[in-house]
Amino acid sequence: MSAEALFCAELSKIKRHLIIKSVQRAVLDASLILLSIWAVLLFIERLEFKILSDNTFRYGISIGISLLAALLIAVVRRKNLQNILIDIDSRLKFQDRLSTAYEYQHSGKKSDLLAFLLEDAAQHLHQLQAKHMAPTKFSVAHLALVFLLVLNVALYSSDFWGPGSRQTVVNQEQIEKARTLLRNYTQSRIGDKQAKKKSSGNAVYTRQLERLTNRLNDPDLNQDMLSVSFNALLKELHSEQARLADELNAKLNTLGIEGVPVQPIPEPGKLSSQKIEKLKALLKSALNNQIPDSLNQDIETLQEFYSLQELLSQIIDDLKVDDSNSDEYALSQTHQTRMSQQANGGKKPPGDEQRHETHGKISDRKQGRAGTTGSPASDQSLDDGSDDLDGSGLHDENDLSAGHAKSVQRKKSRDEIEKSTGPGLQDKLSSAQEEKYRLYIRSLGTVGESILKEENIIQAYRQEIENILQKEDIPLNYREYIKHYFISIGLKTEAEAYDAK
Amino acid sequence: MTPNEKTDAIRKNFELVINELSKIIVGQELVTKHLFICLLCGGHVLIEGVPGLGKTLIVRSLSKILDLAYSRIQFTPDLMPADILGTNIVKEDGKGSRYFEFYKGPIFGQLILADEINRASPKTQSALLEAMQEEKITVFGTEYVLEPPFMVLATQNPIEMEGTYPLPEAQIDRFFFKLKISYPGHQELHEIITKTTEDYQPDLKRVIGADSILEMKSLVKQVPIATHVKDHAIRLVLASHPDNSDATGLIKEYVLFGASPRGVQSMILAGKVSALIDGRYNVSIEDINEVAKPALRHRIALNIRGETEGIDVDHVVEEILSHVQPK
């Protein structure tokens, strides 16, 4: 065998080894990229952003990207054999034998000593072991691979062993049943509404329920989407309640009826204490967006909830049906109330207080949040949350029971301005605590028609405001807010206010 | 003679020369190796050292080992170019007619010792220029080719400045190597005393003839050298230039101008011989680095600041070698 053939044979060994090394490196790069992508996806999913819902598609895409990127990196990082031989020469102190021999053999340069050089290089290559050709070093890439592996395992295992995942696997059947129940429920509700459609003419509510049913009939509906649908349904119920209450309130205000007794709840006494407790739990959990908790219940419990939910819907329907009759009923009730007040020398009838208390309880049940104790203070503090839920931001317990008796403080401020002829404005503050300081304001009437002097009205307003602002429990920023509000409507400056006084 | 035989001959001859020289010269192995390299490369050597270190002795011993025509020129301030090159003299034949006959000077040898070359005037020094570069001389319009192998070994004293004429840069550049003879150590001095103060008469043999030298010289240029090794030599030379991007702060501060292209030629040729001596058939980066000092030290000129601050050119070359790493 000639020196050149011997050298080429030895070189081919190096080439084979380098190809294996390149493939190993590409696999390492691909693994790094793949694990990075998976870690990012898992992390994003933990933040509840859904990028790719289909697992097969997601894994296919990520593996494809990783392999493509690793291939590109391998192509970019590709070294020619000459540089590899130079590296071997310098590492193994071969004094540039291999690189010089390869260059002369590869480029066809002539030299009298070339044959001896090739033979010499081949001998050195023959002594070379595979581990010396391209030694594997524990590099940063290996360290990163270990780190990413641990990170992925941690993210995946926490996801797998987490309560959500376990319950998803175990309660898949229950979720399906709940979905069926919910679908049947909404369909029955739509059927009821369509039956009443001709009489009530409330097409908007029916359309909303139809849309909800269509969403529930979607075969691709997963757990998250199911939760969203539950939330949407509850929002619809809540907003419908609020809307009916608003309508009733507006009609009562138009008729000038101040106090209307709350429509008694249909046969609440017949509810067993166990059902009342369950109703409480349902309302606390379901109306407070605790749908996943509700889903964790047994299917029997869900069926009971379903019956209770039907009861709730009947209550809402009754409120809606009674909406048309509320005018006559409110007039008669106002008359009765005024008569009883005159007879009691301005005192409220005991039944009124009881009614108010009862209504408060019911409205608390309607708008209360899970985790609260049910006390009036805690229920009030949760009103802001319910406003966010239904999106209106203005409905509170008084809105739902429009026309019931107002507080003494409100009545007092109202008496002072009741002779004014301008349109009424109600300053509603979203905070439950500020509700205690609700003011009724009337705009200025037409010049010459006013019974009270403007100065008197302003003075009365000012006193009221000062009293309120003196309260220590009003936060500073609210004080400024209130002050600026009243300055903007008439009390322009402090100096002017004093001048007017 | 096959190339392999020639390569073996180079190694053997080198060992013979070193062994013979070691009979007279104590230590200085690197100097003797570089002398041998210069001989095979066809270059000339400038040997620098303080008096008494055996500069002249090395050259005289080498002339005895090599079977070459040896001449010695003692450079003095009144030495004229004709004293080196030779001159035409008037001769008269038997018929009474006169004619000019060229009387060859000491330059017509093969191994020329130009002792204390810096003591002659620049005019006389420049008489060597043509001979060193082209291995021929021109006298009165007539060219005379010098017999190969032709090698000039010049010596100079670096500390004695009185009555000396520093060699012009053009002439310095024509020296292949500049070798520095260092002080011997304690053990070497012991050996020197033993050899010189006792009855020691070494018998030096002529080990290499002119033909062998020419055959070995023909093989030197056949030694393969890789492109990256050439690049390394080029980068070394370029780094010696103060205006080059690879130049270090020391070079920018103290160097007036760097090595010429003859510096690269010297390094690569010397590297080839070094590889052959080492039993290899290719030039390595280590070969280039090994010969960088003698090949570059006389080609780098320090500026006035470097001269006044006493910067050693060898230190500059070391800086270049440490800065320019093989790619």
What is the predicted pLDDT for the residue at A317?
Answer: 66
Q: What is the pLDDT of residue A433?
A: 44
Highest mean pLDDT out of A79-83, A189-193, A378-382, B90-94 = B90-94
* The pLDDT value given to residue B285: 94
Q: What integer pLDDT is reported at residue B57 of this predicted model?
A: 86
Contact state of B283 with A90 under an 8 Å Cβ cutoff: no
pLDDT band at A288 (very low <50, low <70, confident <90, very high): low
**Interior CA angle at A218 toward A213 and A224, to 5°?**
95
Compute the nearest-CA separation of B277 from chain A (Å).
14
**A204 pLDDT above the threshold of 70:** no
Could you tell me if A103 lies within 8 Å of chain B, comparing CB atoms?
A: yes
Q: What is the pLDDT of residues A127-147, one digit of tens each?
A: 877 777 766 677 788 888 888
Q: Which helix (H) or strand (E) holds A258?
A: none
The SS3 of residue A288 is coil
Strongest mean pLDDT among A360-364, A382-386, A493-497, B56-60: B56-60
Rounded CA-CA distance A138/A130 in Å is 17
The answer to whether B281 contacts A117, with C-beta atoms less than 8 Å apart, is yes
Which pLDDT score, from 0 to 100, does residue A376 have? 40
DSSP string covering B159-215: S--TT--PPPHHHHHT-SEEEEPPPP-HHHHHHHHHHHHSS--------EEHHHHHH
Task: Sort strands B151-156 and B45-48 into parallel, antiparallel or unpaired.
Answer: parallel
Sign for the pseudo-dihedral over CA of A122, A123, A124, A125? positive
Burial class (CB in 10 A: 0-12, 13-18, 19+), B279: exposed
Is residue A104 a contact partner of residue A111, using CB atoms and an 8 Å limit? yes
The stretch B297-306 carries a mean pLDDT of 91
Using a CB-CB cut-off of 8 Å, the residues of chain A touching B278 are: 95
Which H or E element spans position B83?
helix B81-85
Stretch A206-234: mean pLDDT, rounded? 66
Reported ipTM: the value is: 0.83
Q: List all residues 6 or more positions away from B60 whose beta carbon is below 8 Å from its beta carbon.
A: B70, B72, B113
CB contact under 8 A, B224 and A96: no
- Count interface pairs A-B at CB distance under 8 A: 59
CB A437 within 8 A of CB A485: no
Amino acid at B117: I
**Mean pLDDT taken over chain A:** 65
Supply the Cα-derived Rg of chain B in whole angstroms: 21
CA of B6: which chain A residue's CA is closest?
A113
Is A98 in CB contact (< 8 Å) with chain B?
A: no
Residues of B in contact with A7 (CB under 8 A): none
Q: How many Å apart are CA A496 and CA A455, to the nearest integer?
A: 12
For chain B, the helix, strand and coil percentages under 3-state DSSP, each to the nearest 5: 50, 15, 35
Closest approach of A17 to chain B, Cα-based (Å) = 23
Tallying the residues shown for chain B, one arrives at: 327
Nearest neighbour of B228 by CB, restricted to A86, A101, A104: A86
pLDDT of residue A324: 47
Q: DSSP string covering A179-243, please?
A: HHHHHHHHHHHHHHHHHHHHHH--HHHHHHHHHHHHHHT-TT--HHHHHHHHHHHHHHHHHHHHH
Confidence label for A38 from pLDDT (cuts 50, 70 and 90):
confident
Structure tokens given for A210: 């139809």
Q: What is the pLDDT of residue A168?
A: 54
Taking the C-alpha atoms of residue A343 and residue A352, their distance in angstroms, rounded to an integer, is 14
A12-21, A360-369, B25-34, B247-256 — which is least confidently predicted? A360-369
B282 at A interface, C-beta within 8 A: yes
**Contact between B113 and B46 (Cβ < 8 Å):** no
Q: What is the DSSP letter of A84?
A: H
Q: What is the DSSP string of B102-148?
A: EEE-TTSSSEEEEETGGGS-HHHHTHHHHHHHHSEEEETTEEEEPPS
The CA-based dihedral angle spanning residues B73, B79, B84, B88, taken in that order and rounded to the nearest 10 degrees: -140
Mutant choice from A79, A80, A96 vs B, greatest count of B C-beta within 10 A: A96
Say which amino acid occupies B282.
Answer: N
The pLDDT-based confidence of B215 (bands split at 50, 70, 90) is confident
User: Hey, what amino acid is at A273?
Assistant: S
Q: Do B284 and A96 touch (CB under 8 A)?
A: yes
Confidence band for A286, pLDDT divided at 50, 70 and 90: low
Give the DSSP letter of residue B181.
Answer: P
AA letter at B82: A
Contact of A245 with A402, CB cutoff 8 Å: yes
Rounded mean pLDDT, A452-456: 75
Eight-class DSSP state of B169:
H
Cβ contacts of B3 on chain A, cutoff 8 Å: 112-113, 116
B100 at A interface, C-beta within 8 A: no
- Locate the chain A residue with the closest alpha carbon to B276: A113
Cα A393-A397-A400 angle, rounded to 5 deg:
90
Identify the pLDDT of residue A1. Answer: 65
The alpha-carbon gap from B223 to the nearest alpha carbon of chain A, in Å, equals: 6
Neighboring chain B residues of A98 at a CB cutoff of 8 Å = none
Q: B4, A120: Cβ pair inside 8 Å?
A: no
The torsion defined by the Cα of A462, A467, A473 and A476, in degrees rounded to 10, comes to 30
Tell me the average pLDDT across B297-304. Answer: 92
Is residue A47 pLDDT above 80, yes or no?
no
Q: Is a pLDDT exceeding 70 seen at residue A381?
A: no
Q: Residue A324: how many CB atoms within 10 A of its CB?
A: 10
Q: Tell me whether A122 touches chain B (CB under 8 Å).
A: no
CA distance A70 to A59: 16
Give the pLDDT band (50/70/90) at residue A252: confident
| pLDDT category of residue A290 using cuts at 50, 70 and 90 | very low
Tell me the chain B residues in contact with residue A111 when contact means C-beta distances shorter than 8 Å.
222-224
Give residue-wise pLDDT tens across range B264-291.
999 999 999 999 999 899 999 999 999 9
Amino acid at B122: P
End-to-end CA distance of chain A: 122
Alpha helix positions (H), A47-171? 55-76, 81-92, 97-107, 114-127, 130-133, 140-161, 163-170
Q: What is the CA radius of gyration of chain A?
A: 40
Amino acid type, B159: I
Rounded mean pLDDT, B125-130: 84
Residue B245, pLDDT score: 87
**Least confident segment among A343-352, A360-369, A444-453, B149-158:** A360-369
**What is residue A202's predicted lDDT score, i.e. its pLDDT?**
56
Share of chain A above pLDDT 90, in %: 1
Judge residue B45's burial from the number of C-beta atoms within 10 Å of its C-beta, 0-12 exposed, 13-18 middle, 19 or more buried: buried
Q: What are the pLDDT digits (tens) for A345-376?
A: 444 444 444 444 444 443 444 443 333 333 34
Residue B317 has pLDDT above 90, yes or no: yes
Chain B CB within 8 Å of residue A100 CB: yes
Residue A11: CB atoms within 10 A of its CB come to 20
C-alpha to C-alpha distances, A496 to A450, A480, A493, nearest whole angstrom: 22, 18, 5
Is the Cβ–Cβ distance between A204 and A236 less than 8 Å? no
Size (chain A), residues: 501
**pLDDT mean over A240-257:** 78
Partner residue facing A113 (CB), from B3, B228, B284: B3
Whether A304 and A182 have beta carbons less than 8 Å apart is answered as no
Q: How far is A113 from chain B (nearest CA, A)?
A: 6
Interface of B with A in 11-70 (CB under 8 A): none
> Do the Cβ atoms of B225 and A100 come within 8 Å?
yes
Tell me the CB-side half-sphere exposure of residue A431, using CA atoms within 13 A: 8
* Rounded mean pLDDT, A367-386: 38
Give me A201's structure tokens.
């003419």
- Chain B positions in Cβ-Cβ contact with residue A120 (cut-off 8 Å): 280-281
Flag if A113 and B286 touch (Cβ within 8 Å). Answer: no
Beta-bridge partners for B113 = B72, B153
Cβ-defined contact of B281 to A95 (cutoff 8 Å): no
The residue in chain B having the minimum alpha-carbon distance to the alpha carbon of residue A112 is B222
3 state DSSP class of A171? coil
Q: Print the SS3 string covering A397-457.
A: HHHHCCCCCCCHHHHHHHHHHCCCCCCEEECCCCCCHHHHHCCEEECCCCCCCCCCCHHHH
Residue type, A49: F
d(CA B179, CA B109): 22
Task: Tell me if A100 and B286 make a contact (CB, 8 A cut-off).
Answer: no
Using CA coordinates, name the residue in chain B closest to A96: B284
Cβ pair A95:B282 closer than 8 A: yes
* Most confident of the ranges A293-307, B20-34, B281-295: B281-295
Q: CB of A95 within 8 Å of any CB in chain B? A: yes
Lowest mean pLDDT among A311-315, B204-208, B236-240: A311-315
Question: Average of pLDDT values for B285-301?
Answer: 93
A116/B3 Cβ within 8 A: yes
- Phi and psi at residue A39, to the nearest 5°: -60, -45
Is the model more confident about A444 or about B101?
B101
Query: B117 exposed, middle or buried (CB, 10 Å; 0-12, 13-18, 19+)?
Result: buried
> B297 pLDDT band (50/70/90 cuts)?
very high
> At CA A317, angle to CA A312 and CA A322, rounded to 5?
130
Calculate mean pLDDT across residues B243-257: 90
Cα A380 to Cα A84, A263, A357, A386, distances in angstroms: 77, 22, 14, 10
Q: Is A113 on the interface with B (CB under 8 A)?
A: yes
Tokens at A43, concatenated: 């992390």
Residue B209 DSSP SS3: strand
In chain B, % of residues over pLDDT 70: 99
For A28, A43, B168, B262, the CA distances from B175, given in Å and listed in that order, are: 56, 72, 12, 9
Q: CB of A396 within 8 Å of any CB in chain B?
A: no
Phi, psi angles (nearest 5°) of residue A442:
-120, 145
Whether residue B232 is predicted with pLDDT greater than 90 in this model: the reply is yes
- The stretch B139-157 carries a mean pLDDT of 89
Cβ separation of B7 and A116 shorter than 8 Å? Answer: yes
> Does B201 touch chain A if contact means CB atoms closer than 8 Å?
no
Q: Does A116 contact B284 at a Cβ distance shorter than 8 Å?
A: no
Rounded to the nearest 10 degrees, the angle between the axes of helix A454-470 and helix A408-417 is: 160
Spatial separation of the C-alpha atoms in residues A274 and A304, rounded to whole Å: 11
Is residue B35 a contact partner of residue B149, using CB atoms and an 8 Å limit?
no
Whole-structure pTM value = 0.57
* Minimal CA separation from B222 to chain A, in Å: 6
Q: How far apart are the first and last CA of chain B?
A: 38
Q: Is pLDDT of B37 > 90?
A: yes
Q: How confident is the model at residue B28 (pLDDT cuts 50, 70, 90)?
A: confident
User: In this model, does residue A329 exceed pLDDT 50?
Assistant: no
**Residue whose pair of structure tokens reads 């039993």 in the numeric block:** B279
Q: Residue B152 and residue B111: Cα distance in Å, rounded?
A: 6
Quick check: B279 contacting A, CB < 8 Å?
A: no
Helix (H) or strand (E) holding A83: helix A81-92
